[in-house]
């Protein structure tokens, strides 16, 4: 089966859906194991493990979403675009789990304490801001929303993902700065810089081609 036929196959999206659920399934299984007495699966601090794991997967899915367009263009595989929406919704799914893990395990769902903590700690404020910005993107990731907003306004709104990626990276950096551990931060930063840099280069290339086209039309006129 060719690559294009596989990506267009009715089973392609269900398979991707199950793959995207694997991190959640693994975390849920670890929680069950911990409840059954196997404390080692979640480490010495289970709450911190779950909060960090769900945050890591949020950032990974944001990187994957940003990678769809470059991969689609470079590999000349336009059908990859049909999976971007699902990947974006999974990024939101994991950020919701991240927020719930923090609100539940760290703060006991105490709204007043959560509000104070967000205001007091900049890295949490940045992370929460990224969650708020990601919410309208998830809420409008449906055909009805695209039709209601119009394609141009919808595309403009969904460019917020670039800002969200930056805020997510800053949130991750500040969190790791407390322990002076930047190895993973540099990896994610490099990935995001490459993915956003590719877009800047494509934009500049498009503008240059437009200017050349205008220049040629003026000369011919």
pLDDT at res. 36: 85
Residue 9 resides in a domain: no
77 contacts: CB under 8 Å, gap ≥ 6: 3, 4, 7, 71
pLDDT at res. 210: 84
Residue 70 resides in a domain: yes
* CA dihedral sign, ordered 48, 130, 190, 181: negative
Residue 21 resides in a domain: no
Residue 63 resides in a domain: yes
Residue 40 resides in a domain: no
Burial class of residue 162 (count of CB atoms within 10 Å of its CB; 0-12, 13-18, 19+): middle
Asked if residues 92 and 135 have their Cβ atoms less than 8 Å apart, the reply is yes
pLDDT at res. 179: 78
Instruction: Provide block-wise average pLDDT over 10 residues at a time, the chain (221 residues).
Output: 80 97 96 83 87 96 97 94 96 98 94 94 95 96 91 94 97 88 93 97 91 73 57
Domain holding 82, by residue range, is 45-220
Asked if residues 64 and 168 have their Cβ atoms less than 8 Å apart, the reply is no
* Total number of domains constituting the chain: 1
pLDDT at res. 221: 57
Alpha-carbon distance of 94 to 97, in angstroms, equals 5
CA distances in angstroms from 189 to 64, 114, 164, 184, 199, listed in the order given: 13, 28, 13, 8, 15
Residue 124 resides in a domain: yes
Residue 2 resides in a domain: no
pLDDT at res. 112: 95
Residue 36 resides in a domain: no
pLDDT at res. 220: 65
43 contacts: CB under 8 Å, gap ≥ 6: 49
């Amino acid at each position: 089966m060719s690559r294009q036929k596989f990506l267009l196959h009715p089973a392609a999206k269900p398979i991707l859906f199950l793959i995207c659920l694997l991190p959640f399934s693994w975390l849920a299984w670890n929680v069950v194991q911990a409840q059954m007495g196997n404390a080692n699966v979640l480490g010495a601090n289970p709450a911190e493990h779950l909060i960090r794991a769900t945050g890591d997967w949020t950032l990974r899915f944001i990187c994957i979403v940003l990678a769809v367009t470059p991969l689609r263009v470079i590999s000349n595989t336009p059908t990859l675009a049909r999976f971007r929406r699902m990947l974006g919704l999974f990024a939101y799914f994991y950020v919701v789990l991240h927020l719930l893990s923090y609100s539940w395990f760290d703060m006991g769902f105490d709204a007043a304490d959560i509000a104070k903590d967000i205001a007091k700690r900049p890295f949490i404020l940045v992370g929460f801001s990224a969650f708020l910005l990601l919410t309208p993107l998830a809420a409008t990731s449906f055909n009805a929303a695209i039709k209601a907003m119009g394609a141009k306004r919808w595309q403009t709104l969904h460019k917020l993902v670039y800002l969200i990626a930056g805020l997510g990276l800053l949130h991750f950096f500040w969190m790791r700065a407390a322990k002076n551990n930047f190895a993973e931060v540099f990896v994610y930063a490099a990935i995001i810089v490459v993915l956003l840099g590719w877009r800047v280069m494509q934009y500049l290339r498009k503008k240059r081609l437009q200017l050349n086209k205008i220049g040629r039309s003026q000369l011919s006129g």
